[in-house]
Copies of this chain bind each other. A is one copy, B any other.
Amino acid sequence: MTDTPSGSRTLEVALGSRSYPIHIGPGLLGTPAALAPWLAGRQVMIVTNATVAPLYLERCRAALPADAEVRELVLPDGEATKTLEHVSRIWDALLEAGFNRRCTLVALGGGVIGDMVGFAAACYQRGVAFIQVPTTLLAQVDSSVGGKTGVNHPLGKNMIGAFWQPRAVLIDTDTLATLPARELSAGLAEVIKYGLIRDADFLAWLERSLPELRALEPAALAHAIERSCALKAEIVAADETEQGVRALLNLGHTFGHAIEAHQGYGAWLHGEAVGAGMLMAAELSARLGWLASADVDRVEALLEAAALPTAAPAAMGVEDFLARMRLDKKNIDSRLRLVLLRALGAACVHDATPEATLRELLEHFPRG
């Protein structure tokens, strides 16, 4: 991490020849030619969605050098756009513009835009450059690191895709000013997750700093994003192929996915379900004797400070949870595998939770 005079900071994601920088700070998109160092050539296509375009497309264009040959493509907003058909529209636009292998795609938007544009770049003429400009907190702390790109299929989420690294990630914290409060909270759930998994100091900092984060104080935002990306980068570097330690990134996700699926996707935001799911994981860890009840209280207080749910859906019964959880991809040979907490800041994968203990948790966990 390096601090620059302007107050922005840069984190290097170390992936050998595919290493790239993440720049974080306020006003980055306003900076003339801020994107110039990472362009493969003069041809640039900015891909964004109909919600983000009126807010930030002009500022993004201003961050390109004056001699760039810039095209723009505005797709509809929402998870429903994350399809092969919409990625094909990107390819159509690139070919109609006559763009060659030295073109650069710029993904301006949230996770859906980032995933689609990254996949379009991975497969256009067998691979061209792309730059991520994430405009939601969730995309800034999650999809900035890891190189996962792709689209949904009617039979499954993220089923078609590629690993493809960006040339750079530019995170302008000013873009969070227009993010709905509920989406900011959902992004904070992932930030809290990184602290719970492997950084007790960061967790303590979050406890002190959540008011500043919710007030969008630039230095606090930049630190939270930088630390989250750094923690994710460490985990991904240790396990690029998702065989071991990378599973820890799923803290709260087994419970959370059960909530999302039971409520119908979109009713709860992903981060909201993960928030409640992390508290459930903490309580289960306490029932296994690993956490003190004071630790669980700290998790609950953090979630409350982030305006995240601390109860499961009112109508969701024990069997509703168990049925969904048994379908989890992490399970091996029908043995339930959960990411739990040995301590705050120290997650582990555990596959020997007694069913009675899990049932007790599910019975007693508050519904709201």
A residues contacting B by CB (< 8 A) are: 84, 88, 91-92, 95-96, 119, 122-127, 148, 150, 153, 155-156, 159-163
A126 to B123 CA separation, bound complex (whole angstroms) = 12
Chain copies in complex: 2
Residue among B88, B123, B150, B155 making CB contact with A162, cutoff 8 Å: B123
Quick one: closest B residue to A119, CB to CB?
A: B123
By a CB distance below 8 angstroms, the chain B residues around A124 are 159-160
> Is the pair A122, B162 in contact by a Cβ cutoff of 8 Å?
yes
How far does the Cβ of A232 sit from chain B's closest Cβ, in whole Å?
17
> A123: nearest residue on chain B (CB-CB)?
B160
Q: Which of B88, B153, B156, B163 contacts A84 (CB 8 A)?
A: B88
Residue pair A126, B150 in contact (C-beta under 8 Å): yes
Summarize A's interface: helix, strand, loop or mixed.
mixed
Complex CA distance for A88 and B119, rounded to whole angstroms: 15
A91 CA to B91 CA, complexed, in Å: 19
With a cutoff of 8 Å between Cβ atoms, the chain B residues found around residue A161 in the complex are 123, 125-126
B84 touches A160 (CB 8 A): no
Is the CB–CB distance between B150 and A95 below 8 Å? no
Given the complex of chains A and B, what is the CA–CA distance between A153 and B96 in angstroms?
A: 11
Contact B123 A153 (CB under 8 A): no
Q: How far is the CB of A185 from chain B (nearest CB, A)?
A: 29
Q: What distance in Å separates the Cβ of A103 from its nearest Cβ neighbour in chain B?
A: 12
With A91-B160, A162-B162 as known contacts, state yes or no: A155 contacts B123, CB within 8 Å.
no
A95: which of B123, B125, B127, B156 is its contact (CB, 8 Å)? B156
Please, which residue of chain B has its CB at the minimum distance from the CB of A91?
B160
On chain B, the residues within 8 Å of A159 by CB distance are: 91, 95, 124-125
Partner of A155, one of B95, B119, B153, B163: B95
A150: chain B residues at CB < 8 Å are 123, 126
Residue of B nearest to A151 (CB): B123
- Which residue of chain B has its CB nearest to the CB of A148? B126
Residues of B within 8 A of A153 (CB): 91-92, 95
Q: A84-B84, A88-B84 in contact; A162/B126 too (CB < 8 A)?
A: yes
Q: A124-B159, A127-B162, A127-B163 are in contact. List 18 more A-B contacts (CB 8 A).
A: A91-B160, A92-B153, A92-B155, A95-B156, A95-B159, A96-B155, A119-B123, A122-B162, A123-B123, A123-B161, A123-B162, A124-B160, A125-B159, A125-B160, A125-B161, A126-B148, A126-B161, A126-B163
Distance in angstroms between the alpha carbons of A148 and B119 in the assembled complex = 17
Give the distance in Å from the alpha carbon of A126 to the alpha carbon of B118 in the complex.
12
A110 CA to B18 CA, complexed, in Å: 34
When chains A and B are docked, how far (Å) is the Cα of A150 from the Cα of B148? 20
CA A127 – CA B127 in complex, angstroms? 15
Bound: A126/B148 CA distance, A = 8
Measured between C-beta atoms, what is the minimum distance from A338 to chain B in Å? 21
CB distance from A112 to the nearest CB of B (A): 17
- A161 and B124 CA atoms in complex are apart in Å by 6
- Minimum CB–CB distance for A240 against chain B, Å: 11
CA distance A207 to B66 in the complex (A): 58
